[in-house]
Copies of this chain bind each other. A is one copy, B any other.
């Protein structure tokens, strides 16, 4: 019973928060700022999000409308597309900032970890399905450990975004996908399966498109 929550509050608050984020960075994304901008009382905000961190999480989650990645019959291309979408979500000063803040906050507020996890998970689930499909139709060997594959795909993205700060270029993502999929036993389409010794090295030529991105030498870090 009682007066029902005004659903508009969430919407307005998150909108404003997103705008603050875009305009002034994640440093400026304070509860006070959102309250001031929206006219929503701080009390009301704190009723939804008991902590600045929770608000951050909500903002991050809201910003992540899972884009429908089209499914073609090119496994590597599909996976790369999904990963590039995630890369974009992780890239950009403010976005990375929010993510980093969230990562830091999640060490106390463990209840935020699911959310944090879910951020990558949305794509991960789709990708996992795609990979499972590949296993089903024989494109990938049935022995493939999909979770391990996903870790190897996602891990490097977070590593670059959070730790090294390197750019996540489309080219890098392409190479990563090729490398990991090949490791998982993927025979690139229109190609003979590489020999067991791996000398045939399926990695020198990427099976996916890297639209116009030059091969930048990675920082040795």
Q: Which residues of A contact B (CB under 8 A)?
A: 25-27, 93, 96-97, 100-101, 103-104, 106-108, 110, 113-114, 116-118, 120-121, 124, 128, 141-145, 147-148, 151-152, 154-160, 162-165, 175-176, 179-180, 182-187, 192-204, 218, 220-221
Complex contacts, A195 vs chain B, CB 8 Å: 185, 193-196
Asked if B100 contacts A96 (CB within 8 A), the reply is: no
Asked if A201 contacts B143 (CB within 8 A), the reply is: yes
Taking a contact as CB atoms closer than 8 A, the residue among B116, B128, B185, B204 that contacts A199 in the complex is: B185
Asked if B176 contacts A187 (CB within 8 A), the reply is: no
Taking a contact as CB atoms closer than 8 A, the residue among B96, B106, B128, B187 that contacts A197 in the complex is: B187
Taking a contact as CB atoms closer than 8 A, the residue among B97, B160, B221 that contacts A107 in the complex is: B97
Complex contacts, A184 vs chain B, CB 8 Å: 183, 196, 198
Complex contacts, A199 vs chain B, CB 8 Å: 141, 143, 185
Asked if B175 contacts A145 (CB within 8 A), the reply is: yes
Asked if A147 contacts B180 (CB within 8 A), the reply is: no
Asked if B165 contacts A110 (CB within 8 A), the reply is: yes
Asked if A187 contacts B196 (CB within 8 A), the reply is: yes
Asked if A156 contacts B152 (CB within 8 A), the reply is: yes
Asked if A155 contacts B159 (CB within 8 A), the reply is: yes
Taking a contact as CB atoms closer than 8 A, the residue among B101, B104, B155, B201 that contacts A156 in the complex is: B155
